[in-house]
Amino acid sequence: MGIVLTKKIRHLLFITFLIISVKNNAQSLPKGFVYIKQIIPSIELELRYAGTNNFIGKPINGYLKPVGIVTLETALALKKVQLHLNKKNLGLKIYDAYRPQKAVDHFVHWAKDLNDTINKKIYYPTVKKENLFKEQYIASKSGHSRGSTVDITLINLSSESKEELDMGSSYDFFGKESMVSNQDLTSNQIQNRAILQEVMKKHNFRNYPQEWWHFTLRNEPYPTTYFNFPIE
């Protein structure tokens, strides 16, 4: 006679398998952290801070490899989001996940150098660099360093190139155009943002009102700890 496993037991066995897998394949990560691709192989990654396509224009301190890292709880929640979106022929693309404190310090140092404005026209054309702190685009601490915050967008799986959905402003654009409440958009852009906001909320993420792409897991496991291990 076969053994019928309840949904709860199957879930516990799955979690146990993941934990064992993480221990065997990612010994260098602190306890409780995983590589996103290990949990969600189908997810798209474009780690902007590991390259030059970002508001500073160079690789950011602490980003040694273009890999995404988050807490296990965040990865499992994102997996549910991905499965939900796949039913609509959509998927997630990650721009940033765990961010070491040394990277945040790099942002702060850059923001204080008012002469370095290489990418101003692209990322903050209407914001004075000296106001980046006051207007809360740059801060000395980031939720990303706690391991349960991600910067994401949606991609169209029907497209051969898996093109990003039009959200009305580009990732990391500093300005009112990126605010979640912004309604000065086309109907298609408003709809795309709504899909992203709704699916993330459904799976236990809260948004950041100034950035349509920024989400943090509710009840995150390390709410007061800011990590500094490198991304490699």
Which of 80, 96, 88, 97 has its CA nearest to residue 191? 88
Q: Are the C-beta atoms of residues 55 and 117 closer than 8 Å to each other?
A: no
Which of 173, 67, 174, 186 has its CA nearest to residue 130? 174
Cα–Cα separations (whole angstroms), residue 10 to 4, 15, 17, 77, 80: 10, 9, 11, 17, 16
164 annotated active-site = no
Pairing of strands 205-208, 211-217: antiparallel
Q: Point out the catalytic residue in the list 164, 211, 220, 232.
A: 211
What is the rounded CA–CA span in Å between residue 162 and residue 139?
A: 33
In DSSP terms, which residues pair with 90 in a beta bridge? 156
* Catalytic positions: 211
